[in-house]
């Protein structure tokens, strides 16, 4: 089951890109918007560092 998930992720991203392109009218804006989303995700991952959970829970 893990292999199925790993191989379907790129297809999901492509589907998202096409949906964004349809809304915005060009692939350039689709890729820029996905870049912004990815940067936001990286910031979230850095912010929610498991080493600091104990400090925030109490």
How many CA atoms does the CB half-sphere of 42 hold within 13 Å? Answer: 6
- The pTM assigned to this predicted structure is 0.52
**Joined tokens for residue 54:** 């104990």
Q: pLDDT tens digits, residue range 29-43?
A: 777 877 888 898 888
The distance from CA 37 to its chain's CA centroid, rounded to whole angstroms, is 6
Map the chain to HEC letters. CHHHHHHHHHHHHHHHHHHHHHHHCCHHHHHHHHHHHHHHHHHHHHHCCHHHHHHHHC
Domain ranges of the chain: 2-50
Q: pLDDT tens digits, residue range 47-58?
A: 777 777 777 776
**Joined tokens for residue 45:** 């991952």
């Amino acid at each position: 089951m893990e292999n199925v998930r790993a191989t379907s992720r790129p297809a999901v991203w492509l589907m998202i890109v096409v949906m964004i392109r349809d809304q915005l009218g060009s692939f350039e804006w689709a890729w820029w918007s996905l870049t912004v989303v990815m940067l936001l995700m990286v910031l979230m991952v850095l912010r929610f560092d498991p080493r600091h959970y104990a400090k925030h829970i109490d």
